[in-house]
Amino acid sequence: MNVRVVDLLRQFELERLEVNLFRGESRDIGSPQVYGGQVLGQALMAAYHTIDGLDVHSLHAYFLRRGDFNRPIVYQVDRSRDGHSFSSRRVIALQNGEQIFTCAASFQRSEQGLDHQSTMPDVPAPETLPDWSRPTPDVAAQLPELLRRMLIRERPIELRPIEPIDYLHRRSGPALERVWFRIPEAVADDDRLHRCLLAYMSDFNLLAASTRPHQGSFAIGDLVMASIDHALWFHRPFRADQWLLYDVESTSASGGRGFSRGSIYSRDGRLVASAAQEGLIRVRRRET
């Protein structure tokens, strides 16, 4: 198995410190702080360790402080409610004695009910698309160091954006972002793990749609972005090691914040999850 995928799966092998207390390893993905998707996925796994026989159907989270990827994160789970059909958990992520993240998750016992969904957009198949998510070496050499470090770093997720990305000549466009993604290796048949992996992957590309209409108005190295909150709803079964389409739209940007919502479809067109996120978006002012 790919060493990057092995390392990713290891991040979800949380150490139990106490009955409701767990510790997870952190990783450097090239960003200045701990990747938000890592904290989302590990917090969900910590909650799952206190749940029996139910599946997560929603998660609502806030990012409170920057996490340090050089240190592990401790997850404290509060067993808010246990019911026959639904159970609720609250998870607090701690580093250096401070809360860096908090989330609430709701779990449901499987049952039948009404069924409808939106239609997946008509897009090219992932196999027909090159990996536009990475700049070529000559383009990467012209990018700011921090951005270059994050873009060229090897990652455990395979991405196939629908549209080409021009990193040097930014042009404004619709507030949309569509990308296929998956874990590129077969993962064990553990539904809990697949949902935690989707939580991990759902933080990629979501906020980027908020910048699309404005890309002609700032240099690529002048943008400061950080997740503020993140919500995720699970609708139907899926596998994180099979292609999923992230169809993202930003409906608003104002007050130094951008808002995006995304629909996640399986290869056969089933809507498997929905996501929403608001994040900080600031343009650095250059001194003259």
* Out of 45-49, 79-83, 93-97, 208-212, least confident range: 208-212
Q: How far apart are CA 283 and CA 109, in angstroms?
A: 45
Cβ atoms of 185 and 159 within 8 Å: the answer is no
Residue 77 CB contacts under 8 Å (≥ 6 apart), including other chains: 20, 21, 22, 46, 47, 49, 50, 89, 90, 91
Cβ burial 71-84 (10 Å sphere, 16+ → b, else e): ebbbbbbeeeeeee
Averaged pLDDT, 71-96: 97
3-109+130-283 belongs to which CATH class? mainly beta
Give the model confidence (pLDDT) of 177-234 as tens digits: 999 999 999 999 999 999 999 999 999 888 889 988 887 666 666 778 889 999 999 9
Q: What angle do CA 115, 196, 252 make, to 5 degrees?
A: 70
Give the model confidence (pLDDT) of 144-179 as tens digits: 776 777 776 778 999 999 988 777 766 788 999 999
Active-site amino acid positions: 203, 227, 277
For the entire predicted model, the pTM comes to 0.93
Q: How far apart are CA 240 and CA 28, in angstroms?
A: 22
Question: Which conformational region is residue 17 in: left (phi greater than 0), alpha (psi within -120 to 50 degrees), or beta?
Answer: alpha
Q: Where are the domains of the chain?
A: 3-109+130-283
